[in-house]
A = this chain, B = another copy of it.
Amino acid sequence: VRNVYHDELDAVTASLVEMAGLVGTAVRRATVALLEADLDKAEAVIDADEHIDSIYRATDARVFNIMARQQPVAGDLRIVFTSLRMLADLERMGDLALHLAKIARLRYPSSAVPQELRPTIREMGEIAERLVAKVGRVIAEQDAEQAAELDDDDDDMDALHRRLFTLMLDPSWSHGVEPAIDMTLVGRFYERFADHAVSVGRRVVYLVTGERDAPPAPAVLVQSSSGVMDG
């Protein structure tokens, strides 16, 4: 039975999909800003974050009102709970794109990315974009199959993250400490971005299949003295 209540839930879903679109634009621009030292792109990401946050707040308030007025029962309650978490994931992904843009701005007019790391950062950016585009589709279509694919994309991100450490620890690294600090943070931001995308995917799987979600597995990549390892 369609009613005002379900219209409200649809509006929440539409906001989540809109946020995924905005976060996708943000991370695409942030990657260009980093690689091309494009200050306009960096500023565009920084300016747009307030819009993402405002959708976050409005949607959060909408969910609260749904709960207060409609007192949903178990099945719908699961949707509401899960929506709140996807909302938090997407808001955080927006912040991570913002952090990337701020590093680009800080190093302008230079590129923050040393030459030999450019292909790796470019690929990390592409995967981030692909992940968030998939997140938007998965939310819109409640597609558990596509949601499960997000884990594989995240594996690709982890492999690139390891490669980043390998390159920085190579004896041929000539850029010193400052770019290593920058790239450690940049790598971490892309990796966390991917983690949150996976987290959204798991929440959709939970919604569709009822399979309870655990908190996201703690993932931290740290390099060992003899190469890299997944901590």
Contact = CB atoms under 8 A, between A and B. Distances in A.
Nearest to A168: B177
A231 B99 contact: yes
B64 A185 contact: no
Contacts of A173: 177
A91 B222 contact: no
Interface residues of A, number: 48
Interface of A: 49, 53, 56-57, 64, 67-68, 71, 73-74, 77-78, 81, 84-85, 88, 91, 95, 98-99, 102-103, 106-107, 165, 168-169, 173, 176-178, 180-182, 184-185, 188, 212, 214-215, 218, 220, 222-225, 229, 231
Given A57-B214, A91-B215, A180-B181, 15 more contacts: A57-B212, A68-B77, A71-B71, A85-B88, A99-B218, A102-B220, A103-B222, A168-B181, A169-B177, A169-B181, A173-B177, A176-B177, A181-B223, A184-B184, A185-B188
